[in-house]
């Protein structure tokens, strides 16, 4: 029979084995994509897979920029994604502070009604939104996408859950010291909410960067299209050039990877202290 220490070590080993296995399974498609981006088209689907090409075709990463206006697509996507992310951080955190720390009439009913919109699929109100944007002259503009994605019920819900963990006594003490609600929000709540803001940043950035359906509905001019639409256009025109397709896919993945790596420290950590001293 195994003693408690042996069982604990065995369970830990099994846990690490499972986690490593899941990690490998998740990474294999991305590693294959990177490997395929450095191959000639005829070598992409060879069996067994050659993970490291004998003669890497680095030229794929150069040619892809000339096949389609990739730089324009990247700039358009970056513009929309950065603006939407900043606006969502501002609107979600500001509304969440009001729902979590302020008292006003019908607060809970209003919050419940707002959060209930999460359960409604976007496809249900997609057509009314398009008609509304077209009626005010925002069709085929980046502003239409920015306006529609600048507010997030999920973001408000997540930030409110975080703010509720901050003791009310901290806000009350600040009010007694004469701080306005705006100062409490900017000087106290925002500095404490780095983990929640980082998580919301990752979710918003990834969702907006990878959004395909929204831009495909509102954007018709090629010079205004985003990276995901540009990749779809390239696949439609050069469906057999797999090396270039994989190279473009790797390029589209890099910004998302950078954002996650920069914010992962705050993404995984909780708030160690709330700012109250004993």
pLDDT digits (tens, 9 = 90+) for 21-72: 998 999 888 898 998 888 888 888 888 888 888 888 888 898 888 888 889 9
The predicted-structure confidence for 233-252, as pLDDT tens digits, reads as follows 888 887 778 888 889 889 99
From CA 212, how far away is CA 251, in angstroms rounded?
A: 16
Q: Give the SS3 label for residue 54.
A: coil
And the tokens for 210? 């990878």
Tally Cβ neighbours within 10 Å of residue 82: 13
Sign of the CA dihedral running 210, 214, 220, 221? negative
Which pLDDT band holds residue 268 (cuts at 50, 70, 90)? low
Q: How confident is the model at residue 18 (pLDDT cuts 50, 70, 90)?
A: very high
Tell me what pLDDT residue 7 has: 78
| pLDDT for residue 83 | 95
The two tokens of residue 156 are 């408000």
Superfamily of domain covering 60-268: MetI-like (1.10.3720.10)
Distance CA 81, CA 127 (A): 22
Give me the mean pLDDT over the 111-140 stretch.
Answer: 87
Contact (Cβ atoms closer than 8 angstroms) between residue 183 and residue 197: no
Rounded to the nearest integer, the mean pLDDT of the chain is 86
- The size of the chain, in residues, is 278
pLDDT by residue (tens digit) across 72-103?
Answer: 999 999 999 999 999 999 999 999 999 988 88
pLDDT of residue 2: 58
* pLDDT, position 234: 86
| Cβ-based neighbours of 268, under 8 Å, separated by 6 or more | none
Q: Is the pLDDT of residue 270 over 60?
A: no
Q: What is the pLDDT of residue 275?
A: 35
Task: Give the residue extent of every domain in the chain.
Answer: 4-36, 60-268
DSSP assigned state of 117: G
Q: Which residue has the tokens 């609600």?
A: 181
pLDDT of residue 174 exceeding 90, the answer is: no
């Amino acid at each position: 029979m195994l003693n408690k220490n042996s069982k604990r070590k065995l369970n830990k080993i099994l846990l690490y084995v499972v986690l490593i296995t899941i990690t490998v399974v998740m990474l294999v498609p991305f590693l294959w994509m990177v490997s395929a981006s450095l191959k000639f088209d005829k070598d992409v689907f060879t069996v067994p897979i050659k993970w490291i090409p004998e003669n890497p075709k680095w030229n794929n990463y150069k040619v892809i920029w000339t096949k389609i206006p990739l730089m324009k697509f990247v700039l358009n996507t970056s513009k929309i994604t950065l603006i939407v992310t900043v606006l969502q951080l501002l609107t979600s955190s500001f509304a969440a502070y009001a729902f979590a720390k302020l008292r006003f009439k019908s607060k809970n009913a209003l919050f419940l009604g707002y959060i209930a919109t999460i359960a409604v699929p976007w496809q249900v109100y997609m057509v009314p939104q398009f008609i509304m944007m077209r009626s005010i002259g925002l069709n085929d503009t980046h502003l239409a996408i920015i306006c529609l994605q600048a507010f997030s019920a999920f973001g408000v819900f997540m930030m409110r859950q975080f703010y509720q963990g901050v003791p009310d006594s901290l806000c009350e003490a600040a009010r007694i010291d004469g701080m306005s609600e705006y100062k409490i929000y900017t000087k106290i709540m925002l500095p404490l909410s780095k983990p929640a803001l980082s998580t919301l940043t990752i979710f918003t950035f990834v969702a907006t960067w990878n959004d395909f359906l929204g831009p495909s509905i509102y954007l018709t001019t090629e010079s205004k299209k985003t990276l995901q639409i540009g990749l779809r256009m390239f696949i439609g025109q050069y469906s057999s050039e797999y090396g270039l397709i994989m190279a473009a896919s790797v390029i589209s993945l890099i910004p998302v990877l950078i954002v996650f790596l920069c914010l992962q420290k705050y993404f995984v950590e909780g708030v160690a202290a709330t700012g109250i001293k004993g």
